[in-house]
Structure 1
Amino acid sequence: MKWFQVKYEGVILVVFLTRVVGQSNAEAANNVSKWTGTVYIFSLVGAFLSDSYWGRYKTCAVFQVIFVIGLMSLSLSSYLFLIKPKGCGNESIPCGKHSSL
């Protein structure tokens, strides 16, 4: 079941990167692959830090803070991108209609 969930999330991220951000399909798939590889590599880094230096609780706390900062940065950047998309809204180029969804 987890494999299906990971693949499904990857597909949704590719759709977001192509339709909203405007990347090509190949570029979006490449970025999703890089993101997935980075996630798996950092789990190994976290395991090493936990076993060798910090212990499990400090490692979890540090990486949760990093995770929350990343989520806030991602949310803020996508929110600002969706409020004023690039290339429109400067009174000379009209913006397309946004969906009600």
Structure 2
Amino acid sequence: MERLAYKGVASNLVTYLTEVVEMSTSVAAKSVSTWSGVTSMLPLLTAVLTDSYGDRYSTITASSLFYVVVPHAK
């Protein structure tokens, strides 16, 4: 499901940025490329930190709380 959501967001993000946010096409494409790169590399970077300083259960708990709390914070 996560991959399906990612592909759905990625395919519509340039359209959203150009039509709703009114970015130029080149800036919107650059933003989507940056977003795609960050979302692809972030698991590799956080995996090193988690394996070095955390254990399995505290990592699952922290990421679950982050997933629930952060999208609803304003």
Q: Please confirm whether the aligned pair reaches a TM-score higher than 0.5, indicating the same fold.
A: yes
Which structure 2 residue ranges, 5 or more long, are not aligned? none
Aligned length in residues:
70
1:50 lines up with 2:50 in the alignment: yes
Root-mean-square deviation (CA, aligned residues, Å) is: 2.4
Divergent runs of 4+, >6 A? none
Residue identity opposite 1:27 in structure 2: V
Identity %: 34
Cα distance in 2, alignment partners of residues 63 and 38 from structure 1: 17
Using structure 1 for the length normalisation, give the TM-score: 0.54
CA 1:38–1:25: 2 relative to 1, 3 Å:
same
More helix by share: 2
For the residues of structure 1 that align with 2:48 and 2:60, how far apart are their CA atoms? 12
TM-score by length of 2: 0.70
**How far, CA to CA, are the matches of 2:18 and 2:68 in structure 1?**
24
The alpha carbon displacement at 1:7 in A equals: 4.6
Q: How far, CA to CA, are the matches of 2:14 and 2:69 in structure 1? A: 22
- Residue of structure 2 equivalent to 1:84: none
Kept after mapping to 2: 8 A contact 1:17/1:23: yes
Deviation at 1:48, TM superposition (A): 0.7
Measure the CA separation in 2 of the matches of 1:25 and 1:45. 30
> Per chain length, whose mean CA-contact separation is higher, i.e. which structure has more relative contact order (CA < 8 Å, sep 6+)?
2
Higher Rg: 1
Aligned residue in 2 for 1:41: 41
Structure 1 residues without counterparts, runs of 5 or longer: 77-101
